[in-house]
Chains A and B, each alone.
Chain A
Amino acid sequence: MSDNLKHIDEYYKKHLKNLEADTSRDRWRKLSLMLFRKKYGLWIVLLLITASAAIIGIMSVTNEQNNDDYTRPGENQISNRDLISDDSATGSLALQETMSSLRNLKKYKNATKTLSHKISQNKKLEAEITSNSDDFTTGYLSKLTFKNISEFKISEKEIVIPEIAGRPDSTDFAHTPDTLTGNSFKPSRATSWSMDIYIAPSYVTKSLSADPIYDDYINFRKNSEVPIYTTGLGAEIKFSINKWFIQSGINYSVYGDNTKYNFITKTIDSLNCYYNVDTTWVWIYDPPFSGEPYPIGFDSVWMPVYKETESSASIQNRYIYIEIPVLFGFHTTKKKLNFEIGTGISFGFLISAKGNLPDLTNNSLVEINNSTEFIRSTSINYILNAGIQYQINKRISIIVKPNYKRNLSFLFKDDYPIKQKYSTFGVITGINVKL
């Protein structure tokens, strides 16, 4: 390869080595989004998985509930009575349909037992039941050819009970089973989804602790820092099963304190320093050990004077977190009021930290703005809520919940000697929307 083209290299290097070019601002947005995905991608995926699992869970619960409802009489669905009457009349139901219906019958086994018990108290009815059932069961069960049909354990009485409804002068038991059983045909689990959207004015206080050698520092801070009032925001999804609920979502929480640090600095007051005229007389022998002694007086001793300079700094320390609470609780309803108590933990992610810490060695402040040198980027908190919901319409309730939250983890990292935790006392106020 000839080297007579090397000047091409030099030419391009000269012009392109330090080439600069501009691009649109949305490139930073794209990069920012990529960084966000990288930072929170795992959380987002976990959140989606959790949400999907919750949705699947509630769908399965709802389906189960629907299946229960499916066999409820009077809802244009196959009821026990329909089965029997069709069977009696035509003597031919498809095998699959029969099985399905029998499964449903099994689900109502307990209810029908109670029903039959009530009926057994009426001899006249019982006699009628027995006579009707003989004909029916013979025809009905003879069509079942499953080897495991016995597992359904359907007694003649259980099957025959709805037949009573066929009596023209009888109560339509099948349509009004509650009247007979005294029990409701409610599904075994009452589930619901709802969402709390709220603001939470809070009083934020803190506790400080450290090794005893830092007592002076702790006392200085305690005397210089005061609690604050903040406002949190949040939205949480609540899933209720009967009287229990689990709740999770996201909220914005602010912790911090207002400070006024007074530093006293000692400096030499050069204007007021002086010589102390306190003459010290010394006898000098010159030459030594001979001659006449003569006195010499030293009358100037430098006396420094210190002055105290007071300086103060008013600082607002603020630590802002996005938190994901996970609560478990109990609630009970009385008319339009719903009382609830819940407890759990929240996982916090620091999104902003602004403030200063005092440095008493140098009588100065150490800036901690968004520094993760001292501050943990995550936190864990304990939460206790107790409150009331007032239902204003079918879907919306007003919520008022006193709330207590305390850091379980320290604000600062382990290698920082001061242990600091915040506690908040707030009132969650907002709305609950049924989903």
Chain B
Amino acid sequence: MCYSEEQIIEGCINNKRKAQKTLYSKYYRRMLGICLRYCSSKDEAEDVMLDGFMNIFSKMKLYNKRGSFEGWMKRVIVNTAIDNFRKNKKHYYHSDIDDFENELVIEANLLESFSAKEILNTVQQLSEGYRIVFNLFAIEGYSHQEIADILGISINTSKTQLFKARKLLQKKLIEMNNE
């Protein structure tokens, strides 16, 4: 049976398992994709995704139906990933500053040959601090001010983390390209 988005939302608000399963089945791939960017392994990403869906179901009443529902869900998932990051804050600062002594440049056209999985691997190999700042800034489109507020860090720290993340990613792409 095909349900409309309104019916699914209504069902989820009323704790109907069928509606919850329909919602999960419809969106879990995309939500897992987001979680994979924020986590270092698939297992961790799956756990974050499940926590994210729990948050989605429990906060469904707060969805005001003005914006895109999927966009709202993605924000909840990203916030869950940020919460997960906060729990593991001990890994936050990981300086690889020595790696950035030499500026490396990679040709944009060479990068197209990598698969999404390979590209994702490079992000997952970043330390958690780099990864979350890079994701929030480069992919979600948050400003440094917003990142600083969300993560409780200074704007300069956010900029530094982003810079280092970019450098590391570039380095990894070059390495992959050379292999």
Contact = CB atoms under 8 A, between A and B. Distances in A.
A12 B123 contact: yes
A16 B119 contact: yes
A34 B24 contact: no
Given A5-B170, A32-B17, A372-B14, A15 B116 contact: yes
Interface string B96-113: 000000000100100100
Given A5-B163, A18-B30, A21-B29, A31 B116 contact: no
A335 interface: no
A18 B116 CA distance: 10
A5 B53 CA distance: 34
Contacts of A27: 28, 46, 49-50
Interface string B1-37: 0000000000100111110110011001110111011
Contacts of B137: 9
Interface string A358-390: 000000000000111000010000000000000
A12 B118 CA distance: 11
A23 B11 CA distance: 24
Interface in A33-92: 34-35, 38-39
B37 A19 contact: yes
A28 B170 contact: no
Given A5-B163, A9-B137, A18-B30, A35 B108 contact: no
B139 interface: yes
A17 interface: yes
A12 B58 CA distance: 32
A376 to B, nearest CB: 12
A104 to B, nearest CB: 57
Nearest to A39: B15
A27 B138 CA distance: 29
B81 interface: no
A334 interface: no
Given A5-B167, A8-B166, A38-B54, A19 B138 contact: no
Nearest to B1: A369
Contact of A23 (B15, B28, B57, B108): B28
A23 B31 CA distance: 11
A7 interface: yes
Contacts of B134: 12
A12 B34 CA distance: 13
Contacts of B123: 12, 16
A12 B54 contact: no
Given A16-B139, A18-B30, A38-B54, A23 B120 contact: no
A31 B53 contact: yes
A35 B57 contact: yes
A136 B20 CA distance: 81
A22 interface: yes
B138 A9 contact: yes
Contacts of B45: 21
Given A7-B108, A27-B28, A30-B50, A19 B163 contact: no
Interface string A119-148: 000000000000000000000000000000
A34 B169 contact: no
Given A9-B166, A16-B139, A17-B139, A23 B32 contact: yes
Chain B binding site: helix, strand, loop or mixed by DSSP? helix
| Category for how many chain A residues contact B | 20 to 34
Interface of A: 1-2, 4-5, 7-9, 11-13, 15-23, 27-28, 30-32, 34-35, 38-39, 370-372, 377
A5 B169 CA distance: 10
A19 B159 CA distance: 25
Contacts of A372: 14, 16
B73 interface: no
A34 B50 CA distance: 9
B76 interface: no
A13 B120 CA distance: 11
Nearest to B24: A28
B57 to A, nearest CB: 7
A15 B138 CA distance: 12
Nearest to A7: B108
B166 A16 contact: no
B46 A23 contact: yes
A22 B50 contact: no
B162 interface: yes
Given A15-B114, A35-B17, 17 more contacts: A1-B160, A5-B163, A8-B138, A8-B170, A16-B37, A16-B120, A16-B123, A19-B37, A19-B116, A20-B32, A23-B32, A23-B46, A34-B50, A34-B54, A370-B18, A371-B14, A377-B14
Nearest to B134: A12
A20 B33 contact: yes
Interface centre among A2, A5, A21 (most CB of B within 10 A): A21
A27 B167 CA distance: 35
A13 B138 contact: yes
B54 A22 contact: no
Nearest to A371: B14
Interface string B113-154: 010100110010000000000100111000000000000000
B168 to A, nearest CB: 10
Contacts of A371: 14
9 contacts: A9-B138, A11-B119, A12-B134, A15-B114, A16-B123, A19-B33, A20-B32, A31-B24, A370-B16
